[in-house]
Amino acid sequence: MTPQTEVFLQALSRLLGWIYTFCWSASFYPQPISNYQRRSTAGLAIDFPTINVLGFVCYTGYTAAFLWSPVIRSQYAARHPLSEYPTVRFNDFAFAIHAVVLSSIVYSQFWPMIWGFQVSRFQRVSKPVAGIFWGSILAVLVVSWIVLARSPDRGYDPSSWAWIDVVYALSYVKLIITVVKYVPQAWVNYKRQSTEGWSIVQILFDLSGGILSLIQLVLDSGMQQDWSGIMGNPAKFLLSNVTIVFDLVFVVQHYILYRDAGDDADKRQRGPSLTTPLLSGSSDERRATSV
């Protein structure tokens, strides 16, 4: 590879990074704006923003560690000797911290005391999602305990249990949450036979960001001539692929399966009373369609 080619590819990688960061960041705005305009959260599953906040908090910690922790960067280099540096970029961190803020805003819109929006009486976080929420936190704590208990130097030896494993645990929590958070929304759309209230614009931005993120990761690993860089950044690789798959599901629901559905589904499913969302739910609420 000539120096000119390498410079071009590095510039292209940075450009792709910021474009997908813009697409993914922009995807967080259509839904809260739609909720605000409708003065209602009908059509949006509360499980989605609830668990999304935790996922992006974990992703923020993951990207920050790879960017600025000398310990994590040195442990990564020891485990991936052919890679010069982790394939995490500053735009990954910028996207993550922005996502925490916007996801928190969307979650807060389910609290009538804050926004005064109409919220269905069935809008309670399901027990399975609440279990994953608290289980994910517990899992990270368990991995941290293992590192302290099993490592010969309390986490600094990369050949044993090390702090980089805690960081990877954060990335796997984010991956699990990415899979889980889309499932309730896809199910709500199916039960209502409509995507009314669920912004398709955010999905189109999300899909574009996922594709560009995957391209950037492959490009970065190719420049290093070390394809282990892809699996060395499992959060970004798997996050992109999972995002693409679920976004395509929503595109099919919106443009093919339920393209003729309108406000009727929203009116049928909207509950008359307001409620405060909790990280639990009764069996009756779990059986009810969450809107």
Q: What angle do CA 82, 66, 23 make, to 5 degrees?
A: 105
d(CA 75, CA 92): 20
The more confidently predicted of residues 157 and 280 is: 157
Neighbours of 247 (CB within 10 A): 23
pLDDT at 220: 78
Q: Give one DSSP letter per residue of 137-189, joined into a string.
A: HHHHHHHHHHHHHH-TTSS--TTSS-HHHHHHHHHHHHHHHHHHHHHHHHHHH
pLDDT at 277: 56
d(CA 107, CA 103): 6
Residue 120 burial class via C-beta count within 10 angstroms: exposed 0-12, middle 13-18, buried 19 and up? buried
288 backbone dihedrals φ, ψ, rounded to 5°: -70, 155
Q: Which amino acid is at 153?
A: D
> Considering the entire predicted model, what is its pTM?
0.77
Cβ proximity of 124 and 45 under 8 Å: no
Q: What are the pLDDT digits (tens) for 254-280? A: 999 998 765 554 444 444 444 555 555
* Paired strand residues for 47: none
d(CA 155, CA 178): 28
Check residue 255 and report its DSSP letter: I
Mean pLDDT computed over every residue of the chain:
83
Range of the domain at 270: 3-287
Among 27-31, 106-110, 135-139, 287-291, whose mean pLDDT is lowest?
287-291
Of the chain, the percentage scoring pLDDT greater than 90 comes to 39
In this prediction, residue 213 has a pLDDT band, given cuts at 50, 70 and 90, of confident
d(CA 228, CA 226): 5
pLDDT at 200: 93
What domain count does the chain have? 1
Q: What are the pLDDT digits (tens) for 171-183? A: 889 888 988 888 9
In this prediction, residue 221 has a pLDDT band, given cuts at 50, 70 and 90, of confident
